[in-house]
A and B are shown apart, each in its own frame.
Chain A
Amino acid sequence: MAPVVTRTVTVRRPVDDVRALITVPDRVFPVITGFGRFDRVSVSADTAAETWDIFLDVGTLHVGGRARVEVAEGQSLSWASERGTRSTGSLSARALNQDSCEVTMSVTVRFAGILVVKLVDVAAASILGRHLEAALQQLRHYAEHDELPPVFG
């Protein structure tokens, strides 16, 4: 069974400000330093969907590929893989009060195989969890202080 990993962080900014950041791929992808590669491939004319090549650097692996990225009414961003690592994910924000909100990032990854993949799933959930935590902390710092988070190799 594919691991579903979810992490949340409280951001001390109004929810509308944060949604304006997380629902725009051109704004949110550069902030998340774990995304080693990301390039827009195409924009769908009839829907609010874009196709991106996007990869998360995880040590020796580059997890990702070509994904369809959709924005739901300016409230959340979601993606589903078309090529590469089988994954789906979403990024959303809900208001806690006037000045702060809770941002949630959720990712599901499916690996090939039966037996070994059970071990991989356990490790992957733990690794993905740390990457999601890092991504959310980077977004939080950017939203709260209007400054890119620290970048290092």
Chain B
Amino acid sequence: MAKPALPAVVSNVTARAPRPRLPRVSVPRVAVPRVGVPRVRVPQLFSGAPFDLDERDPEFIRGMLPRLWLAASVYFRAEVNGFEKVPDEPVLFVSNHSGGSMVPDTFIFLLAYNTYFTVEGRPLYSLGHEMVTGLPITGPLARKMGVVTAGHSAATAAFERGGSALVYPGGDVEALRPWRDRNKIVFDGRQGYLRLAHANGVKIVPVVCTGGQDTFFVLNDGRKTAKALRFDKLLRVKTLPLSISFPWGLLPGDLPHVPFPAKIRIQVLDPIDITEKFGADPDWDQAHDYVTSYMQAGLSTLAAKSVLPVIG
């Protein structure tokens, strides 16, 4: 079936009717004395590396695969299934995010993808937080693995050169969700992934993962703490939870840690064509509701395979 033509402009801004112009009203200026602490523009402390898809290094990935395989198979006893469902075209993988700052499910997925589709096959670019791509030492390593600073431009560039993209709409909020919500999809209302897939005419391939949130334990979500400390402005991080991890023990927030050897399972689900299902001008709320519902059913089904937390 022929797809409807999409606008050539790659933008996630939906065209709107022009706002009606209101009549100008002149208001006399009144001097108002400033009271309290003057507002200070808080600079963002961290900025990620600008994206450069050529930083993905297939030979480096090939060299990393044996190490990743050891960690994935022996330490995490990982299982990844469902790649046969992925169509032979650029797609947007949409996954739930777990494991805090260490994100073991991301590296296991990269390992499985690069072995199933081969390192020289369709490249996969994972859209990551600025802190992943911008840190010294680990940032360049991540970029060589195909991690790029998250943004619509980066994903669009990946699709244009025939690659696929992996995105985690839930971001830090989901990766730092409390342990009691470990089997829940928490996208925090973010819908940009829908616009991204629709604007670029690519299908969404949902991916669900369990076990990542057993590699450390989050006791609360810490949203109020993060907001009070303005972490959302400084670091673009919306949560500051209490967590238990090794070797730190009980810690506010999350630092790079040694993940507990939890069993990780990843399941690729059937692709979703947003344009085919919701039309050329989708109701984004309806589309988001459908995708998250589908993923939640898949995640709960995958979680039912667990026998005991951490152990598997």
In the complex, whether B8 has a CB less than 8 A from a CB of chain A is no
Contacts A138-B301, A152-B81, A152-B82 given; indicate if A127 touches B293 (C-beta within 8 A): no
In the complex, whether B296 has a CB less than 8 A from a CB of chain A is yes
What class of interface size applies to chain B in its complex with A? 20 to 34
- The CA of A127 and the CA of B296, in the complex, are separated in Å by 18
Is A149 a contact of B183 with CB atoms below 8 Å?
no
Which residue from A133, A147, A150 sits with its C-beta under 8 Å from B269?
A150
Q: In the complex, which residues of chain A have a beta carbon less than 8 angstroms from the beta carbon of B81?
A: 152-153
Using CB atoms and an 8 Å cutoff, list the residues of chain A in contact with chain B.
Answer: 33-34, 59, 123, 126-127, 130-131, 133-134, 136-138, 140-141, 144-145, 147, 149-150, 152-153
A131's closest neighbor in chain B, by CB? B304
Using CB atoms and an 8 Å cutoff, list the residues of chain B in contact with chain A.
Answer: 81-82, 183, 267, 269-270, 290, 293-294, 296-309
6 CB-based A-B contacts, threshold 8 Å: A136-B300, A138-B297, A138-B300, A150-B298, A152-B81, A153-B81
Q: In the complex, which residues of chain B have a beta carbon less than 8 angstroms from the beta carbon of A150?
A: 269-270, 294, 297-298, 301
- B205 → A minimal CB distance (Å): 12
- The CA of A152 and the CA of B80, in the complex, are separated in Å by 12
- The CA of A137 and the CA of B298, in the complex, are separated in Å by 9
B290's closest neighbor in chain A, by CB? A145
Q: In the complex, which residues of chain B have a beta carbon less than 8 angstroms from the beta carbon of A140?
A: 293, 297
Which residue from B267, B270, B300, B309 sits with its C-beta under 8 Å from A134?
B300
Which residue from B270, B297, B298, B303 sits with its C-beta under 8 Å from A130?
B303
- The CA of A138 and the CA of B299, in the complex, are separated in Å by 10
